[in-house]
Structure 1
């Protein structure tokens, strides 16, 4: 009996040591600013293993995006930190703020290759917000061997009516040439110059050296988000897990080339009266038809790809990355918990 008691006690000590050893493994958070590589931002000892995926999670920003601009604002506000608490290794990437999805997708692919080389993991779980959710489709289709899963968040997979409207406002009728002065009116040319400058500023603010600032092209960025471009070109070239028509449902088979595709998005614009950005999104939301629910920049219909988790969260376009400063709807699930839930899903499915 004493031998048995000693055996049990010894086993408990061993299990306790194993548990402590497991908890001692830190989850890490890296900032990857192309072309300067990945820099460790933080590491923590996880509270649990709810989001401890087999492959690292890579977060991809949208149009006009950044990582942590000037050390003040994180694009994915509080999301990397929350995922780390569940055991996720998180990498945030940086592509040109103002460019189209193919250009940015190629930049992203190079960063994904770097991440797999650094981690020793052959694949990554890609989560992209807005235009980032279109960029990740490019990587998944041209280099599927690097991709474990794809999750698009509030992404205009079939284009944005806001982009259509903006292009119509700044374009001239019957342009005589490809020169911006002939294709766009004075307001349009000023807007193009302004947004290109903003893109360079966000590059610099994200830690990219002045001599290595990435090429910005806000004309291509906006044109690449129009419904004509997305439905007439991009979705034909990269069709995986897409619905066959606008406002249709994606095919039931959402695993393509061994890669599962997921999406989630919200509707509504003014979700928190204390958030000044909500009122801007209420204005941009007016460019959509009344029977086309949207988040101010992207419609629910356009956001669908793969397995649709939900397309009706009470979240506007910035809420879906927990911005601005977490001023989101108090009557809806916390956006951060939606990311945790999705990464938990990926973990349970072996990704």
Structure 2
């Protein structure tokens, strides 16, 4: 069946921590941008700092929204943010609602990440492990920049880590509460200041030996390992973000059988069965069309 993703407003896929738009022919949103374009959407991937605070990345996003609006003649954009990209998208929607038609959080840590909490506790400020982690992060970000051929933009690993903790996101939420649920695990307002809010995410499900070929995916193995650091949402997380922590606006579903990287189709298209991450984006584009967005 021919899919229709020709939304009224352009779609911006906003990457999260250590993200990028593409390296050579390799897209971070693997197969997603092309599938949306093939179905008629105008799609862009903003280039944001791989590591930095939510506000800094949100401000960078606003600047690129202006470029998209100027280049396309559109009045607004639809933002779909993965992981920390959801927080940048929320910032843009809150600060410039006249330029944003919708904000969709995909596996976004909208109430913080317990994994980030554990890392923050382990990397005590001013001590050697933190210095080592910062140095390693800086080298990795610079390596990504070299591979992508992009000019370096500011990055700050500690600002990113602090921004993703439960405490850090709580402070962010005090300033930008649009779309947040009033109760833990609930749904938030669908429309705030004429901006539509949506979210979806996944959880690790069952033992790894029942995952088939997906058990051989190294990214899935990492997510399985990271999931052991969750307490409040033990057994209800995707390896990096808790299920209920991801809720924002209209919660389409928060227990898809996907890990954190599956939600941008990283290796999932090769080894995962039972769910097609790309199709979720196409379905959402059709949803946005029905809302006149």
TM-score normalised according to structure 1 size: 0.78
Counterpart of 2:202 in structure 1 is 266
**Pick aligned residue for 2:20 from 66, 90, 95:** 66
Alignment of 1:5-154 (within 5 A): 48=2, 50-69=4-23, 71-154=24-107
When the two chains are superposed, the root-mean-square deviation of aligned CA atoms in Å is 1.6
Counterpart in 2 of 1:235? Answer: 173
1:203/1:158 Cα in 2 relative to 1: closer, same or farther (>3 Å)? Answer: same
TM-superposed CA distance for 1:349, in Å, is 1.3
Instruction: After TM superposition, give the deviation of residue 207 of structure 1 in Å.
Output: 3.1
Report deviation, 1:49.
Answer: 6.1
Deviation of 1:184 (Å): 3.3
Aligned to 1:279: 221
The number of residue pairs the alignment matches comes to 286
Gaps of 5+ in 2: none
Question: What is the CA-CA distance between 1:327 and the residue it aligns to?
Answer: 3.7
Larger of the two Rg values belongs to structure: 1
Contact 1:192 1:219 in 2 (8 A): yes
Which residue number corresponds to residue 259 of structure 2? Answer: 316
**Is the contact between residue 269 and residue 276 of structure 2 (CA under 8 Å) also seen in structure 1?**
no
Task: Determine helix, strand or coil for the equivalent of 1:166.
Answer: helix
Residue pair 1:133, 1:151 contacting (<8 A) in 2 also? yes
Normalised by the size of structure 2, how large is the TM-score?
Answer: 0.93
Structure 1 range deviating more: 126-135 or 320-329: 320-329
Query: Contact 1:48/1:85 (CA < 8 Å) preserved in 2?
Result: no
Instruction: Tell whether the 8 Å contact from 1:315 to 1:328 is kept in structure 2 after alignment.
Output: no
Whether the 8 Å CA contact 1:80–1:90 is kept in 2: the answer is yes
